[in-house]
Structure 1
Amino acid sequence: MTSLNNLINERSFRRLALLTVIAVYLLILVGGIVRSTGSGMGCPDWPKCFGQWVPPTNVNELPVNYQEIYSHRGYANTEFNVVKTWTEYLNRLLGALIGVFIFLTFIASTVAYWRKDRAIVGYSFLAFILVGFQGWLGAKVVSSVLATWLITLHMLLAIVIVGVLMYVMARSRAALLVNEQTNVSKTGQRWLLISSILLLTQILLGTQVREVVDEVADQFGAQQRFRWIDELGIRFYIHRSFSLVVLATQLLWIWPLVKSQSPANTVRQLALSMVALIGVEIATGIVMAYWAIPAWAQPVHLTLAVVALGIQFLVILFVKKETLLINTARSEVRYEQV
């Protein structure tokens, strides 16, 4: 156990937690690629793919009547597509890898924080439980033949997992920021909270638009992609206009912060990165609106929004780092007395 303690310390735990968060964001991006390319049913069963642990690379590797076998999964008139099959399968493999990362994060937390701050251990375990549920939910998405509400729930759960991991990461780093002063006025803190809620609302609106895009894509096909925007209806225009509201409310707390803090301030740097992310996200939205929703723009647009939301949650935690520090100190005293 001593050698394990030497190998896994607080610093290595923080690195692993950060790597896990990045990996989850990558999974969200890949999931968006699966959806935007129509690869969600590239594997009609789960956890295997066409009944195989290693997916076929050629239609000749499938039974002659594979369309009949998987007709209940939408294959009655669908031909095997190797690109879509492997796109979906690689998404599943990445999901399994994320599960390993989160499990390792939990194990590392028990070594580094069990006698110092068991809340970190508890939240790390919660993330592990949630990723297991996420895998089960992914199976339900396949069995439902891509029910849109299940896809949306699948994505929202990924955001929750990111939030839990962000809290773990922030709590483990709070002590490093004890000497770093970040002065955010009460008004600024209110706008920080309001803008966070509005950003989450914007993401939820985007999921509604995404569902409509899927319906329009099924109706008109990729050959008439240029018609998709005109068929999206009022939800698209609300989502597009609301992005300006989100940007304006972000600037209401970011601008005073940037002016008052030194360039080396952690929260200031995170705030500036948020502005950049939201700016690029709006740019990808413009690209989709005026260039017929290119497939690459959809997953990028979603991922940027989720990353921005995660960073904003981290900002809230760091602005309130005194609370994290107090809770950490109480935990350390309690376990030292045991």
Structure 2
Amino acid sequence: MFVLQLGLIGLCIALLPLSYVWVKADDNKFRKLVWLTTFLTLDLIMFGSFTRLTDSGLGCPDWPGCYGTSSPFVAHAAITAAHQAMPSGPVSMVKAWIEMLHRYFAMAIGVLIIAQVVIVWTARLKRRPLHVSPWWPTGILLLICVQGAFGAWTVTMKLQPVIVTLHLLLGLALLGALGWLAARQTPIPVHEPAAARWLPAAVFGLVLLVVQIALGGWVSTNYAVLACTDFPLCNGQWVPPMNFEHGFHLWRALGMTGDGEMISQDALVAIHWTHRTFAVVVVLYMLWLAHKLRRFESLRTPANGVLLLIVIQFLTGLSNIVLQWPLPIAVAHNGGAAILILLLVMLNFRLSSSRPGRAVLPARDVVSA
């Protein structure tokens, strides 16, 4: 019964953006729905980082509900008892609400994606195509189902670092897929075939960014942000003592080595130092790539966005160390990484569409037809 109640909560939340899309004066409601879903997914990723950074991931230690109910209101007695038994533990009423709000919003995103699937397949059956294969939104729906499974494992496996990191990467993959679909529904201002030769460089840039975000997720999920407390040195050394074997042993419990022992400070330093060092490579490459791409009119806006976000990411990353990991800056650092993914996806899409014979047409509005 409580699972049905959870579904109804997600549906009610999703009705707000669906109503907005429906009443908004726009010739292409499907495009607006996709863009709005993309924006809300970005918000969900940032709220997910807030959930993790406030140690609320186990605020409700079961899944999908909270102590077998649909709301912390109903589970008040169980939450209070758990908090009284362990006041410094992971369960409290505030943490329970943070965790459940994250789950509610995730279900609402799922409803919005289901709506997209219904729209594109209806358009296909009525022979009014949206200039996108219906299998693309269908694939996105399957992706969010996998993401939901990893969300469940995040809780049931007690925040195991590799599961939490994969949950983050799948969330970014979902954001990127929605961003590609949104770009597919948006006309490119200028068709510039000469820009197409930069596509391999942009793809490589996206790969570098994903690797760096995976390293950052590994830092965050292992709570290694403050393993190095100074900059540019790490604990007063360019190359401090490090234990890569334990630091990058993937299948292990939080705070433990693969052998079940307490993880050492040297292992946490290895995690932090690797993320920091690889960031230099990513920053230099992104600055070079964005500088080269901004010469093209169709790429100037996302390229300028990359330049701006790289500077912001450097500043927020440095602030996390100098200011001892303040919550707003840590969330902003996670959000900046997600926006960079979107910008790189947009650049890759526009470069791909710049190839001869690959011009993208605006989609027709089958929703209002």
Name the counterpart of 1:226: none
More helix by share: 1
Alpha-carbon distance, 1:317 to partner: 1.0
1:19 aligns with 2:55: no
Query: Normalized against structure 2, the TM-score is what?
Result: 0.72
Q: In the aligned structure 2, how far is the partner of 1:216 from the partner of 1:297?
A: 14
Equivalent pairs, count: 304
| Amino acid aligned to 2:144 | V
Residue 168 in structure 1 maps to residue 181 in structure 2: yes
Name the SS of the counterpart of 2:334 in structure 1: helix
> Please, which of 275, 280, 288 is the counterpart of residue 244 of structure 1?
280
> Offset of 1:55 from its aligned partner?
0.6
How far apart are the structure 1 equivalents of 2:328 and 2:74? Answer: 24
- Asked if structure 2 preserves the Cα contact closer than 8 Å seen for 1:166 and 1:310, the reply is yes
| Structure 1 residues 44-64: Cα deviation after superposition (integer angstroms, max 9, x where no partner) | 1112212321213896x3388
Distance 1:184 1:279 in 2: 25
CA distance in 2, matches of 1:101, 1:110: 15
TM norm structure 1? 0.78
Unaligned runs of 5+ in 1: 1-6, 220-228, 333-338
Match of residue 337, structure 2, among 305, 310, 316 = 305
Q: 2:292 & 2:90 partners in 1: Cα distance?
A: 57
CA distance in 1 between counterparts of 2:353 and 2:226 reads 46
Q: Which residue of 2 aligns with 1:177?
A: 188
> 8 Å contact 1:216–1:231 — kept in the other structure?
no
CA distance in 1, matches of 2:216, 2:291: 26
Equivalence for 1:321: 353
Shift of 1:216: 8.1
Write the distance in 2 (CA, Å) between the matches of 1:42 and 1:269: 41
Verify: 1:209 aligned to 2:222, yes or no: no
The residue that corresponds to 2:234 in the other structure is none
Aligned to 1:336: none
- Call closer, same or farther: CA 1:251–1:185 in 2, change over 3 Å: farther
SS at match of 1:213: coil
With 84-93 and 300-309 compared, the bigger mean Cα shift is at 300-309
The runs of at least 4 consecutive aligned structure 1 residues that moved more than 6 Å come to: 7-10, 214-219
Q: Structure 2 CA distance, aligned partners of 1:20 and 1:79?
A: 31
For residue 194 of structure 1, report the CA deviation from its aligned partner: 2.5
Q: 2:112 aligns with which of 101, 106, 111?
A: 101
- In structure 1, what residue type is equivalent to 2:54? T
- Where do 5+ consecutive residues of structure 2 fail to align? 1-23, 228-253, 256-264, 365-369
Structure 2 counterpart SS, 1:232: helix
1:44 paired with 2:61, answer: yes
Instruction: Output one character per residue of 1:280-331: Cα deviation in whole Å (capped at 9) or x when no partner.
Output: 11111000111111222223212211220221111111112146964979xx
Q: Secondary structure at the match of 2:338?
A: helix
Share of identical aligned residues, percent? 25
Give the conservation status (yes or no) of the 8 Å contact 2:193–2:355.
no
